[in-house]
Amino acid sequence: MTNFAIGVDLGGTNLRIAAVDDQGTIGERVAISTNVALGRDRVIDDMCGAIERVLAKCGNSDKLYGIGIGVPGIIDSETGLLRESPNLPGWANYPVRAEIERRLKTVVILGNDANVAALGEKWLGAAKDFDDMAMLTLGTGVGGGLIIGGAIWQGMNGMAGEFGHTTVEPDGHPCGCGNHGCVEQYASATAMLRMAKEAIAENPGGALARAAQADPKFSSKTAYDLAMQGDPDARKVFGRVGRALGIVLSGLVNSLNLPIYVIGGGASSAWDAFSPAIFEEMRKRSMVYAATAPPDPNAKKEWASAHVIPAPGKKTIVARAVLGTDAGLIGAARLPMIAESKS
Ligand SMILES: [Zn+2]
């Protein structure tokens, strides 16, 4: 008999569902598209139907912990209400948890998508050897998650870990949250493309501009390739990405003194272009690093893709995520397991 949970990654475009056992092995899985345009009830119908199909394929004698769902938005963890979600219009203040529990007759736990991705990387990914970690997810926006003692740190009302809205430029680019100069405006996939276009406008004769002219599907990937070839305009774009992330990470290092910080999300694929600027910035701003002089250049690349900032006795690690798009699915499945161990 296996003990397992269902993890759901409810994105604005794709809905992914998997059975995950308590050793972290992924079993049955399905992916369908999220028919956001057809309305909330249709999405919930589709999701419940897909969960039932996955459950039907799992053994009857196996024990189900429940269903964990990662949702893009602000969740009230106590009431199970989705308070706000830009990607799921019409879902505000809808009792998602109660409705799915009613339909599927099992425990349902909701988590913010970036928080559950952090939980996934903590359980089975880059931070699996640590109890405490923080993660930044670079996607359309910049999400964040803080894991303390192996569980998501929710804060007073589920808002903890919004590292993406940390100010890195006090009078910088306006952000959707109402602030100016959030790290999201410098390190998200959206921001990378915007900054590449700004760089093109500033130097219309440069290699970046020529690449954009030649390629109607110009993306931040093109800018990344040019940065890796040494193009100064493209390098500047990713230098700003790394600098913004380095400022945020230095603040986290100084305030939380966690053993590991993980960078994930689709746009983290540009790691090689932006990570040198992260470490340059952290050397300047992080007290943990400053506490050790002189820095040991050989200690920088020690384990997998991790970069290590030496501290007295122990080392602060900044690492790339390793689970890719499965992080959210795995972390979501972990939610009901943790809930049961606490009850
Ligand atoms: Zn913001």
Give the per-residue pLDDT at 343. 78
Q: How far apart are CA 290 and CA 284, in angstroms?
A: 7
Tokens of 147: 């894991």
Give the per-residue pLDDT at 274. 96
Give the per-residue pLDDT at 263. 95
Residue 222 Cα, ligand 1 centroid: separation in angstroms? 26
Residue 265 Cα, ligand 1 centroid: separation in angstroms? 18
Residue 86 Cα, ligand 1 centroid: separation in angstroms? 13
Give the per-residue pLDDT at 297. 44
CB 77 within 8 A of CB 292: no
Residue 144 Cα, ligand 1 centroid: separation in angstroms? 12
Residue 143 Cα, ligand 1 centroid: separation in angstroms? 10
Residues with CB under 5 A from ligand 1 (ion): 165, 175, 177, 179, 182
Residue 121 Cα, ligand 1 centroid: separation in angstroms? 24
pTM of the model: 0.91
Give the per-residue pLDDT at 294. 34
Residue 163 Cα, ligand 1 centroid: separation in angstroms? 9
Residue 338 Cα, ligand 1 centroid: separation in angstroms? 30
Alpha helices in the chain (DSSP H): 40-57, 96-104, 113-124, 184-187, 189-202, 207-214, 220-228, 232-256, 271-285, 287-290, 326-342
Give the per-residue pLDDT at 291. 39
Please tell me the number of Cα atoms within 13 Å of 142 on its side-chain side: 29
Ordered per-residue pLDDT tens for the chain, 343 residues:
589 999 999 988 899 999 999 999 999 999 999 988 899 999 999 999 999 999 999 876 679 999 999 998 888 878 888 888 877 888 888 899 999 999 999 999 999 999 999 999 999 999 998 999 999 999 999 999 999 999 999 998 888 999 999 999 999 999 999 999 999 999 999 999 999 999 999 999 999 999 999 988 899 999 999 999 999 999 999 999 999 999 999 999 989 999 899 999 999 999 999 999 998 899 888 876 543 333 344 443 333 345 566 655 667 889 999 999 999 999 999 999 999 888 7
Give the per-residue pLDDT at 303. 36
Residue 184 Cα, ligand 1 centroid: separation in angstroms? 6
Give the per-residue pLDDT at 43. 93
Residue 1 Cα, ligand 1 centroid: separation in angstroms? 46
Give the per-residue pLDDT at 310. 60
Instruction: Find out whether the peptide bond into 86 is cis, omega within 30 degrees of 0.
Output: no
Residue 149 Cα, ligand 1 centroid: separation in angstroms? 28
Residue 266 Cα, ligand 1 centroid: separation in angstroms? 19
